[in-house]
Amino acid sequence: MSSLFEPYTLRSLTVPNRVWMAPMCQYSAQPTGPEAGVAHDWHFAHYAARAAGGTGLILVEATSVSPEGRISAYDLGIWNDTQVEALARITRFLKTQGTVPGIQIAHAGRKASTGRPWVDGGPVGVDAGGWQPSAPSPVPFAEGDPVPDELTTEQIQQIVGQFTAAARRALAAGFEVVELHGAHGYLIGEFLSPHSNHRTDAYGGSFENRVRFALQVVDAVRAVWPEDKPLFFRISATDWLEENGWAPDDTVRLATLLKEHGVDLLDVSSGGNASGVRIPTGPGYQVPFAARVKAETELPVAAVGMITDAAQAEKIIANGEADAVLLGRELLRNPSFARHAARELGGDVHVPEQYHRSV
């Protein structure tokens, strides 16, 4: 039996295999008006194809808890009920294919109000239809970027409430997993790192203070997310800075706290919080970060980062480096990666009846 195609159970949820889809923004929602942030035909076709391809769990892209929390005006949102029904259309189909539907809920913090990456990707000012970003501290992401507003304590608690409301809507939309986006330099990750968090109040300074916001969001979401459904947390294991940044030791330390607060799996990525850093990329380059968390804590992990072929993914699971692999770009290239990998490894995967002639 292929390790990659063994089912995996978290709480009462069983995922049919360990080939999972990482959240990847499509920047394809309507930017304004009553349809702002609403998933449409592109999103349905995009996720449906990967479900038909045998993917065990799909995490829908970073979906903003508020209009001002979007990375771009074209991001998906989950701050109103119109958005819920559009997302429910996707979850209903994913379930017909045996795929577990999950969603990543997020707030972009100081990296909000940017353009689509294939157009420009840079900051979009208020005069061009953007908005003023906010952050733990008035520190821009990169030189020349707008200086974000420093969040007040009251505003921080309002955002915790927005994550709570988003989790409730995710449940109404039919999702079985919620992932909190604490990676890649967005708001939760900005609080974690001393590189971006220069506060001197209860949310800054010490490790305990810098993780306070993350744990408050976890607690608030866990309180409304059903006990039998798993909660994920995505983290950047390192800022890739030599000093004054978030580091792998911090990730291990936080992982233990997340487990205590009801998180069921850590989705381990890296980078995104400091501009201009050199990241030594290569096949599986982030897997060691996940493997360390798995070895040193009791929290299950998913590995990401240039995982592109079946044998590589199988080895990661079989060696105990991670409990699942989250594929990104490879699933953009090959929506049926799971079905092809099952054929190569002798695993069992769902194949739609309409596709049986291809097996």
Q: Burial, 227: exposed, middle or buried (Cβ in 10 Å; 0-12, 13-18, 19+)?
A: exposed
Neighbour tally for 174: CB within 10 Å: 17
Instruction: Report d(CA 318, CA 2) in Å as an integer.
Output: 8
Query: Under DSSP, is residue 159 helix (H, G, I), strand (E, B) or coil?
Result: helix
Instruction: Report d(CA 181, CA 164) in Å as an integer.
Output: 14
Whether 8 is catalytic is: no
- Secondary structure of 26-95 in HEC code, one letter for each residue: CCCCECCCCCECCCCHHHHHHHHHHHHCCCCEEEEEEEECCHHHCCECCCCECCCHHHHHHHHHHHHHHH
DSSP state of 141: S
Cα 169 to chain center, whole Å?
A: 17
Q: Which of 8, 47, 74, 186 is catalytic?
A: 186
C-alpha angle 160-15-316 in degrees, rounded to nearest 5: 95
Instruction: Report d(CA 120, CA 242) in Å as an integer.
Output: 30
Q: How far is CA 338 from CA 57, 251, 287, 308, in A?
A: 11, 30, 19, 11
Instruction: Report d(CA 77, CA 83) in Å as an integer.
Output: 7
Q: Where are the beta strands (DSSP E) in 218-293?
A: 231-236, 265-269
Which amino acids are annotated catalytic? Answer: 186
